[in-house]
């Protein structure tokens, strides 16, 4: 095959064009016609300088063959070795039938980079479409769309134009077979396979094409990925069809990127529906499924956010009815109660009314509405997962993904697996020799992987213990600083308690540690998964997903689990306190505020969740914007004025195979925050909703403007993330039940109200929840070094948060019967809430079918039509064969009957 280089200037198509396009031309299809006479030549420039080839195109120089893929490379010190690899690789690509065209480095802006353009002709596309069983249309669909719903006009402001929502008609499809091309709706072979399918086929060839010399088979010298890793090529990518802010000049280009940017990627479109069919057509089903899931998740968050806001407003409106806070803030009640020191030596005795503000804050989130909201979220999670299954089933049918998983498992074996697994065995299904990983090697790799995972999880736990030790150590420091009258900070001491200061600073430190550990976890998880050598791409992603989520789960949620279920639960009582590492460590376990630990869990959740979302948005949006601003400062804001289409895409970021993985991970971690601990912060779904509205448009903007066009790939669902979401949903019911029972004060208040103080309401609850201890019995090492003036001779006892008998009682300092009543009530509440929510969950799941009835009907009709059309096609083809045999070669009656039987047997 003849190779064309950039030096062949005489063969290029020359067109007259101005240096800049007119705005009117861009709005009317992007075509602008300017004659050379309309532009005066600048001094020192000849007439030839104004004639430039049209480089902003996705076609070869002949203007006919489409560029399906682009490889780039540069000459360097190791040039000869890499040149040999490229020569062999490109020769093998030509043997596969691909057509190549090279742009010389002298034509590139940096004068260093070569660009190899690849075109797949019809024969190659047809062959590999048959191999990959790509579904193509054979008949226009006659199934009507869903009927118009009442009050449809209300949704008009949120809808997009029909040609954007449905960029192509609905067809019935069937896996392509090269031998039956006349069975399919082929009007133009050049446009029959869309660009996304073409680049998927070409990448399949590139990933498996060897670059060793003929007769010298070296298994590791295969595929474009290895050539990219060893520097032979610098990049490999399919082209965008046009610039994102202007339509393509060539009318044959689809300008789908421009449509996506105009109707989807701009933030002003945040209230519009997403053009999922156009996203799928341009980027492939895998990316389309992600945005479909993210959009549906955001829609469902709206209902959770509204209910959470209602619960928060209820807390505000019931502010004045909060008897507990009134008693704590009352000077005669809370001001007369002296509390025991919260730490050794540094912490003084203190008055209960010093926590007045935190008790009011706790009531905002720790009220009767919390129980209702926790139950609601348990049901919401079920509705979210079940309705998503229905929507996913609809997308599977509409996007021809129903039978895809089996094909993917069989056909898309990772090239790395084929290269690294030298052993072969017979596949009992295909009856072909295929590579496999021996059991001994698999076990050894699994053990090493498990040990590595355990080590890194232990590191997370060690970091959490370090943060807990920090909390214990600095609590005393904050207590002495805030209470010291010589310090300026005493002005805000009444607003910032030692507990609040400790909680906020510890949460910030924990967030920093989380971000640092995340940097290592991503690399460790990828390394472990690569070491295991998964067989298929699907298996690789599932294994990586499970490892990464396990790391992130422990990393993000450990501190919240500590505050929710451990802090304040194992503190002991005055005279017999519990220490973290024994009494020698002098790190006494933390106590909760008299208002409870729920406000501290809220603080932890808000800081970690909000910090993660803020940092993620900075990484995804602000940093690329800053890079674009810096590029514009250097005069590269409009590269299309002097750069070719492939050079414009070459400077964009590469979208890695795991790019979508991190997008899912971010959203699933957020899903854990709004479900596992939502009882402590009803506004979490509202924060998530605002973040996701921005997230959809930021991700769309990145895909459209900042990334090279990714290779289109298929996926019928969200993969292993579905099982993770199911597990988180079940765990969330348990965690919220325990939070309400053991972290909030809801159950102790209910027991007091209905069992110990039926007539007086909540009056007296604060005094009832505090036990008494004799100050003279406090050991010396627990006593504060300094005492305030008001404390001297004011009382002989102090109070602490527990239910124990007072001094002088025959069972002094042991738990009262009320403690056991409250514990029984807590366990009963957990059991009842879990059973109620789980029963409702299973009932809802049973009531909502996974596949809509209309989708089942359409699927059955398509199967019926496929069988009918195939039968008719085979009959017609048989008739043509029989008639052709009569015309071309007269035969005897006996031989003719034999031929008829053979043809019919083949058909049957």
pLDDT at res. 622: 66
Question: Higher confidence at residue 144 or residue 454?
Answer: 454
The string of pLDDT tens digits covering residues 58-97 is: 899 888 899 999 999 998 766 788 888 899 999 999 999 9
Q: What's the average model confidence in pLDDT over 276-302?
A: 94
- DSSP letter at 210 equals B
pLDDT at 406 over 60: no
pLDDT at res. 283: 93
The string of pLDDT tens digits covering residues 566-593 is: 887 888 888 888 887 777 777 788 777 6
pLDDT at 41 over 60: no
- DSSP letter at 243 equals -
User: In which band, very low, low, confident or very high, does the pLDDT at 25 lie, cut at 50, 70 and 90?
Assistant: very low
pLDDT at res. 299: 94
User: In which band, very low, low, confident or very high, does the pLDDT at 727 lie, cut at 50, 70 and 90?
Assistant: very high
Lowest mean pLDDT among 35-39, 56-60, 416-420: 35-39
Most confident by average pLDDT, 75-89, 409-423, 787-801, 804-818: 804-818
pLDDT at res. 640: 47
User: Residue 797: in which H helix or E strand, if any?
Assistant: strand 797-801
pLDDT at 30 over 50: no
Q: What's the average model confidence in pLDDT over 164-173?
A: 85
Mean pLDDT across the chain: 79
Provide the percentage of residues in the chain whose pLDDT is more than 90. 22
The string of pLDDT tens digits covering residues 2-18 is: 344 443 333 333 333 33
pLDDT at res. 67: 93
pLDDT at 626 over 70: no
Q: What's the average model confidence in pLDDT over 612-639?
A: 64
d(CA 487, CA 477): 13
pLDDT at res. 205: 93
User: In which band, very low, low, confident or very high, does the pLDDT at 155 lie, cut at 50, 70 and 90?
Assistant: confident
The string of pLDDT tens digits covering residues 121-135 is: 999 999 999 988 888
User: In which band, very low, low, confident or very high, does the pLDDT at 287 lie, cut at 50, 70 and 90?
Assistant: very high
pLDDT at res. 431: 65
pLDDT at 19 over 60: no
pLDDT at 152 over 70: no
Quick one: tokens of 83?
């040149």
pLDDT at 867 over 90: no
Torsions phi, psi of 714, nearest 5? -100, 150
Sign of the CA dihedral with 233 first, then 234, 237, and 241 last: negative
Q: What's the average model confidence in pLDDT over 549-573?
A: 86
Other Cβ atoms less than 10 A from the Cβ of 158: the count is 9
Lowest mean pLDDT among 386-400, 414-428, 881-895: 881-895
Sign of the CA dihedral with 591 first, then 595, 596, and 599 last: negative
Question: Higher confidence at residue 765 or residue 786?
Answer: 765
Other Cβ atoms less than 10 A from the Cβ of 532: the count is 18
User: In which band, very low, low, confident or very high, does the pLDDT at 290 lie, cut at 50, 70 and 90?
Assistant: very high
The string of pLDDT tens digits covering residues 450-509 is: 898 888 888 888 888 888 888 777 766 766 665 544 444 444 445 566 667 777 788 888
User: Residue 694: in which H helix or E strand, if any?
Assistant: helix 684-701
pLDDT at res. 672: 92
d(CA 688, CA 694): 10
pLDDT at res. 480: 63
pLDDT at res. 464: 84
Give the up-direction half-sphere exposure of residue 488: CA atoms within 13 A in the CB hemisphere.
0
The candidate with the shortest Cα–Cα distance to 338, out of 765, 780, 770, is 770
Most confident by average pLDDT, 287-296, 369-378, 770-779: 287-296
pLDDT at res. 5: 41
The string of pLDDT tens digits covering residues 656-706 is: 877 788 889 889 999 999 999 888 889 999 999 999 999 999 999 999 998
pLDDT at res. 679: 87
Other Cβ atoms less than 10 A from the Cβ of 16: the count is 15
pLDDT at 377 over 80: yes
Provide the percentage of residues in the chain whose pLDDT is more than 70. 80
Find out whether 541 and 719 touch, Cβ atoms under 8 Å.
yes
Give the up-direction half-sphere exposure of residue 174: CA atoms within 13 A in the CB hemisphere.
21
pLDDT at res. 153: 66
Query: What SS3 state is found at 839?
Result: helix
């Amino acid at each position: 095959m003849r190779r064309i280089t950039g030096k062949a200037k005489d063969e290029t198509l020359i067109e007259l064009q101005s240096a800049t396009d007119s705005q009117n031309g861009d709005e009317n299809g992007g075509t602008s016609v300017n004659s050379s006479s309309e532009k005066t030549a600048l001094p020192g420039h000849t007439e030839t300088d104004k004639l430039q080839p049209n480089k902003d195109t996705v076609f070869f120089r002949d203007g006919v063959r489409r560029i399906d893929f682009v490889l780039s490379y540069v000459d360097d010190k190791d040039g000869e070795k890499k040149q040999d690899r490229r020569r062999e690789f490109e020769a093998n690509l030509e043997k596969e039938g691909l057509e190549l065209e090279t742009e010389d480095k002298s034509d590139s802006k940096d004068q260093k980079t070569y660009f190899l353009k690849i075109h797949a002709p019809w024969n190659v596309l047809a062959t590999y479409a048959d191999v990959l069983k790509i579904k193509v249309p054979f008949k226009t669909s006659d199934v009507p769309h869903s009927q118009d719903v009442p009050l449809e006009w209300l949704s008009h402001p949120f809808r997009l134009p029909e040609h954007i929502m449905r960029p192509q008609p609905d067809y019935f499809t069937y896996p392509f077979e090269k031998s039956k091309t006349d069975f399919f709706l082929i009007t133009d072979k050049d446009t029959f396979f869309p660009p996304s399918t073409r680049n998927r086929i070409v990448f399949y060839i590139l990933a498996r094409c060897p670059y060793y010399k003929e007769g010298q088979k070296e298994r590791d010298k295969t595929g474009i990925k290895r050539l990219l890793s060893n520097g032979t090529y610098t990049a490999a990518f399919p082209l965008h069809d046009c610039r994102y802010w202007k339509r393509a000049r060539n009318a044959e280009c689809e300008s789908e990127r421009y449509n996506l940017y105009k109707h989807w990627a701009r933030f002003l479109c945040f209230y519009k529906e997403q053009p999922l069919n156009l996203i799928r057509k341009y980027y492939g089903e895998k990316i389309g499924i992600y945005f479909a899931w993210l959009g549906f998740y955001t829609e469902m968050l709206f209902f959770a956010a509204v209910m959470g806001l209602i619960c928060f407003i209820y807390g505000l409106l019931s502010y004045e009815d909060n008897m507990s806070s009134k008693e704590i803030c009352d000077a005669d009640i809370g001001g007369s109660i002296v509390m025991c020191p919260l730490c050794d030596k540094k912490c003084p005795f203190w008055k209960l009314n010093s926590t007045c503000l935190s008790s009011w804050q706790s009531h905002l989130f720790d009220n009767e509405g919390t129980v209702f909201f926790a139950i609601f979220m348990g049901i919401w999670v079920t509705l979210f997962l079940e309705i998503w299954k229905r929507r996913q089933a609809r997308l599977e049918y509409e996007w021809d993904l129903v039978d895809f998983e089996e094909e993917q498992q069989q056909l898309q074996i990772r090239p790395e697996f084929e290269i690294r697994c030298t052993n072969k065995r017979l596949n009992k299904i295909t009856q072909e020799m295929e590579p496999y990983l021996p059991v001994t090697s698999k076990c050894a790799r699994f053990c090493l992987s498990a040990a590595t995972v355990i080590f890194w999880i232990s590191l997370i736990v060690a970091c959490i213990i370090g943060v807990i030790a920090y909390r214990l150590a600095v609590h005393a420091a904050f207590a002495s600083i805030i209470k010291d009258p010589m310090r300026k900070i005493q002005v805000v001491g009444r607003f910032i308690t030692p507990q609040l200061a400790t909680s906020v600073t510890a949460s910030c430190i924990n967030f920093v540690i989380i971000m640092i550990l995340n940097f290592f976890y991503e690399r460790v998880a990828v390394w472990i998964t690569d070491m295991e050598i998964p067989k298929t791409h699907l298996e690789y992603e599932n294994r990586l997903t499970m490892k990464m989520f396990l790391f992130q789960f422990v990393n993000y949620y450990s501190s919240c689990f500590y505050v929710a279920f451990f802090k304040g639960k194992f503190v002991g009582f005055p005279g017999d306190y519990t220490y973290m590492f024994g009494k020698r460590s002098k790190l006494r376990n933390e106590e909760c505020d008299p208002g409870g630990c729920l406000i501290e869990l809220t603080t932890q959740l808000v800081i970690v969740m909000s910090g993660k979302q803020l940092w993620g948005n900075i990484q995804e949006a602000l940093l690329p914007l800053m890079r674009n601003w810096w590029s514009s400062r250097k005069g590269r804001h409009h590269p299309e004025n002097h750069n070719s289409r492939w050079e414009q895409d070459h400077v964009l970021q590469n979208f890695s195979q795991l790019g979508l993985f991190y997008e899912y991970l971010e959203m699933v971690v957020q899903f854990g925050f709004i479900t596992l601990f939502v009882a402590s912060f009803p506004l979490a779904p509202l924060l998530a909703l605002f973040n996701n509205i921005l997230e959809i448009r930021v991700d769309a903007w990145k895909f459209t403007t900042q990334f090279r066009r990714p290779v289109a790939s298929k996926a019928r669902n969200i993969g292993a993330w579905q099982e993770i979401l199911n597990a988180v949903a079940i765990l969330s019911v348990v965690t919220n039940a325990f939070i309400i029972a053991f972290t909030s004060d809801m159950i102790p208040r209910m027991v007091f109200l209905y069992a110990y103080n039926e007539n007086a309401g909540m009056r007296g609850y604060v005094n009832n929840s505090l036990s008494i201890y004799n100050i003279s019995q406090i050991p010396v090492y627990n006593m504060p070094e300094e005492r305030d003036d008001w404390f001297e001779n004011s009382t002989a006892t102090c109070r602490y948060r527990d239910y124990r008998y007072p001094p002088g009682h025959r069972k002094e300092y042991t738990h009262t019967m009320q403690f056991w009543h409250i514990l029984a009530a807590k366990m009963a509440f957990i059991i009842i809430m879990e059973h109620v929510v789980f029963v409702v969950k299973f009932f809802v799941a049973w009531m909502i079918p996974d596949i809509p009835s209309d989708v089942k009907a359409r699927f059955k009709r398509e199967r019926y039509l496929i069988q009918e059309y195939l039968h008719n096609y085979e009959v017609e083809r048989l008739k043509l064969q029989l008639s052709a045999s009569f015309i071309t070669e007269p035969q005897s009656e006996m031989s003719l009957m034999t031929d008829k039987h053979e043809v019919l047997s083949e058909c049957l």
